[in-house]
Structure 1
Amino acid sequence: MNLNRSMVVVGLILMTIVSFSNLVGVSIAGLSVILGITFFFIHRRFGKRDTDGLDIKAIRTYVKQKAIWFWIALPLVMNIICFALAALFLPEFIDHIHSRTQFVISFDKLLLLVLQLAVLALGEEIAWRAFFQNQLSKYIPIIPTIILTSNIFSLGHFAVGNAVVVSYDIFFIFINSVIYGVIFYKTNNAWISTISHFIANVFSVILISFFIF
């Protein structure tokens, strides 16, 4: 195993361990994104840049494809379903997701909020799709790759609370993560999955603000 491949394996393992930290009461899961971005750019420096998953020039090509917009819009649809069901049957979910996100998102400053959502979406897509999923898919088939990546990604968002509410939250995070994974697989471009992730996050924040304020 060469040095670059060994570094990739170390990155995958560290991201997994850090993501699971939330489950044992150590709230450092967010560091998995920083780790993923760091390992992505290290690998990009020493690996093959033509397959690195962050080709900004290819954005125009993909956004012109009508078929990809179905996948881009799907997480937004899932969030509509998530919040609609929560409003009807699980209102505690709104408070849960607000408490989970208020430490990293400035709800009271619109411009800063939009910037934060964009940076968070891009960071997570570089870490979890352009690095983690992209590298893991070199070792196992794509379907288990996407499922495993999404499981770890979802658990990294775990926050203590009512078991039903937490499970509900994690379930929809998992579903959207699978969709982002499919988008990345279809495009090999984290910018496209970031667009989908950003749109879904903006809509979620709008709904949270509507219910909370």
Structure 2
Amino acid sequence: MKNRNELLETYIPIAIFGFLCLTRVVFTNVVGLSLTFLFSILYLFIENKRNKGQMEDIGFIPKNILPDIKKYWWLILIPVVSGIVSISLFKFVLPEVYLYASDTKPMLSFGKLLLQIPQLLILAFAEEIAFRGFFQTKLCNITKPIWAIIITSLFFAIGNFSAVSISGIIYISFFIFIDNIIYGVIYQKTKNIYSCTISHFLANVIEIFILFFYLFD
């Protein structure tokens, strides 16, 4: 009975999540990510309710946000620095992708960028619930935390697949992987969805504004 319950509560959800994540390569961004988010978030909340758990049990600990920032501010800022480096090198490492991106500049505006900020916050929050609160936590039940973090980061990189050149995929996926290692470490240390969401959100915002104001001048 124990093995059966373990199969139902750990291995099968992990397998479904992994499969849905891989569909991101086949389907569009919206479809692939939406399926992954929907499954993991619904499963997480249903499982928690069934076990009569508290919101804090699944990483929703708002009271610890400030203590976590004070203690792990340097970890939280590493993805921001990584984003600055990756975007700054983007123009020189991937000139063909940069030129394509530059062509989209006339369609962008500062006002549209500001409207993207709440969208980036919601996206970062949903991704952290799915990949850290659900996937990484489930993996920690069957393997060491370090491997759970690495596997989660690999799947996140796959889940954010972009239809660009091979060199572009390698470059973008490398930095996504590194950033997600940090998000995973933050979550493992704090067990707080909000703390890794803050790091994720700040990195995304900095990257998009650097692209707009610096690289596309």
Q: So what's the TM-score if we normalise by structure 1?
A: 0.85
| Residue matched to 2:19 | 17
Contact kept, 8 Å, 2:10 with 2:141, in 1: the verdict is: no
Is 1:201 the counterpart of 2:204? The answer is yes
Is 1:61 the counterpart of 2:67? The answer is yes
Q: In the superposition, relative to structure 1, how do residues 156 and 44 fare at CA in structure 2: closer, same or farther (>3 Å)?
A: same
| Residue matched to 2:161 | 158
| Residue matched to 1:112 | 115
CA distance in 2, matches of 1:146, 1:39: 20
> Which residue, out of 188, 191, 194, partners 2:194?
191
Q: What residue identity is the alignment partner of 2:152?
A: T
1:97 to partner: Cα distance: 7.6
Q: In the superposition, relative to structure 1, how do residues 189 and 93 fare at CA in structure 2: closer, same or farther (>3 Å)?
A: farther
Q: What is the DSSP-based 3-state SS (H/G/I as helix, E as strand, rest coil) of the residue aligned with 1:54?
A: coil
Which deviates more, 4-13 or 51-60?
A: 4-13
CA distance in 2, matches of 1:15, 1:95: 35
Q: What is the DSSP-based 3-state SS (H/G/I as helix, E as strand, rest coil) of the residue aligned with 1:109?
A: helix
CA distance in 2, matches of 1:201, 1:134: 23
CA distance in 2, matches of 1:98, 1:58: 41
Contact kept, 8 Å, 1:94 with 1:208, in 2: the verdict is: no
| Residue matched to 1:135 | 138
1:4 to partner: Cα distance: 8.5
Q: So what's the TM-score if we normalise by structure 2?
A: 0.84
Contact kept, 8 Å, 1:62 with 1:187, in 2: the verdict is: yes
Alignment of 1:145-184 (within 5 A): 145-184=148-187
1:144 to partner: Cα distance: 0.7
Q: What residue identity is the alignment partner of 1:80?
A: I
1:123 to partner: Cα distance: 0.5
1:166 to partner: Cα distance: 1.0
Which deviates more, 190-199 or 30-39?
A: 30-39
CA distance in 1, matches of 2:99, 2:118: 23
Q: What is the DSSP-based 3-state SS (H/G/I as helix, E as strand, rest coil) of the residue aligned with 1:129?
A: helix
CA distance in 1, matches of 2:12, 2:169: 30
RMSD over aligned CA atoms reads 2.6
Contact kept, 8 Å, 1:37 with 1:127, in 2: the verdict is: yes
- 1:61-99 Cα offsets, whole Å, 9 max, x none, are 21232xx01110000111111112212222334467899
For structure 1, list consecutive stretches of 5 or more residues without a partner in the other structure.
100-105
1:160 to partner: Cα distance: 1.8
Contact kept, 8 Å, 1:96 with 1:161, in 2: the verdict is: no
Q: Please identify which structure carries the higher helix content.
A: 2
1:56 to partner: Cα distance: 1.5
Q: What is the DSSP-based 3-state SS (H/G/I as helix, E as strand, rest coil) of the residue aligned with 1:20?
A: helix
Contact kept, 8 Å, 2:69 with 2:76, in 1: the verdict is: no
Q: What residue identity is the alignment partner of 2:11?
A: V
CA distance in 2, matches of 1:3, 1:55: 28
1:135 to partner: Cα distance: 1.7
Contact kept, 8 Å, 1:76 with 1:200, in 2: the verdict is: yes
